[in-house]
Structure 1
Amino acid sequence: MRKTFNDLIAEQSKSVDEIFPWDLAEELSARDDLLLLDIRCPYEFDGGHIQDSLIVPRGILETACDYGYDETVPDLVTARDKRVVVICRSGNRSILAAYTLKQMGFDDVVSLKTGLRGWNDYDRPLVNNAGDPVDPDTADAFFSPAITPEQLGSAH
């Protein structure tokens, strides 16, 4: 039977812990040993991200987690004993990535529930690549999907 994206999210979310934006804000205030792992594409990251996030696009996640690859990210490889918060736009891709990290030996990994859309809705700050603040309304527009009729398919 063919599985949909939503099927995969539903299956893997059963074994992935999630954290709400307000809980992440509290953790960021209380501790300095979190690794914020943004797994979106570079153009998405450029549009706005949580300050001090590490970008590792989901497409290279597995090789970024281990030594010996062009994509190896030492800060990620050595984070298996840290709390890792996986971040994406809406909190779906981050579930898939958090599941993968758990399979690869990361013990304390969580997915940001509602993703950066929820983070922005909670009025938490985002920055661009220059470290400048991103206007919340600009971020909201950026995080809103622009699905074409062709992308909806015949089922809709």
Structure 2
Amino acid sequence: MKRYKDFIAECLPHVREIMPWDLAEALKTTTPPLLLDVREGNEFAAFHIAHSLHVPRGILETACEYGYEETVPSLVKAREQEIVVICRSGNRSVLAAYVMQLMGYQNVCSLKTGLRGWNDYEQPLYDQEDNPVDPDTVDSILNQALTREQLGKV
């Protein structure tokens, strides 16, 4: 039986990753990459990198193609644009970037360490109203303890 980490390990050799400090520099250029946040809606609302496009991982494939309710035209048109896929810790983004490559996206990478690393590197994050979110608040959200049930110890 394959587990979540197995899928990531299989995709990782095929996906380029970018470190938070390299992304911070890339965002200062005249042609910054498209930022694609694939976390769930409540995660995105709590905090995200400014100007990120939000497309939850669950609808990514249909968001990348015309003809679906979830189609995001700007994403469909971005097949040759530089795209950095973002998630909480850099795992879902690896899976998403891999799938996007299979769908013809030519310059897509994953933010290594995700928003955990971005916050650790003390880069700004914003809530759904575009207000800055305190890094300590982000840390407390990112470091919530798993329940016994989530750990499989019931």
TM-score, length-scaled by structure 1: 0.95
Q: Which residue of 2 aligns with 1:118?
A: 117
Q: Which residue of 1 aligns with 2:17?
A: 18
Asked whether the 8 Å contact 2:79–2:106 carries over to 1, the reply is yes
1:67-146 superposed matches below 5 A:
67-146=66-145
Deviation at residue 15 of structure 1 after TM alignment: 0.3
Give the paired residue count: 153
Asked whether the 8 Å contact 1:33–1:82 carries over to 2, the reply is no
Q: Distance in 2 between matches of 1:9 and 1:141?
A: 26
Give the match's secondary structure for 2:14: coil
Q: Residues 75-118 of structure 1: CA distance to partner in whole angstroms, max 9, x if unpaired? A: 10000010000000000000000000000000000000000010
Asked whether the 8 Å contact 1:20–1:113 carries over to 2, the reply is yes
Q: Which residue of 2 aligns with 1:52?
A: 51
Deviation at residue 145 of structure 1 after TM alignment: 3.9
What runs of 5+ residues in structure 1 fail to find an aligned partner? none
Q: Distance in 1 between matches of 2:101 and 2:30?
A: 22
TM-score, length-scaled by structure 2: 0.97
Deviation at residue 150 of structure 1 after TM alignment: 1.5
Deviation at residue 139 of structure 1 after TM alignment: 0.7
Asked whether the 8 Å contact 1:41–1:57 carries over to 2, the reply is yes
Asked whether the 8 Å contact 2:26–2:32 carries over to 1, the reply is no
Give the match's secondary structure for 2:31: coil
Q: Distance in 1 between matches of 2:34 and 2:144?
A: 27
Letter of the 2:97 partner, please give it.
A
Give the match's secondary structure for 2:50: coil
Identity of aligned residues (%): 59
Asked whether the 8 Å contact 1:40–1:89 carries over to 2, the reply is yes
Q: How big is the alpha-carbon RMSD for the aligned residues of Structure 1 and Structure 2?
A: 0.9
Judged with a 3 Å threshold, the aligned counterparts in structure 2 of structure 1 residues 31 and 4 are, in CA distance, closer, same or farther, namely farther
Deviation at residue 33 of structure 1 after TM alignment: 4.0
Letter of the 1:52 partner, please give it.
H
Give the match's secondary structure for 1:142: helix
Letter of the 2:114 partner, please give it.
G
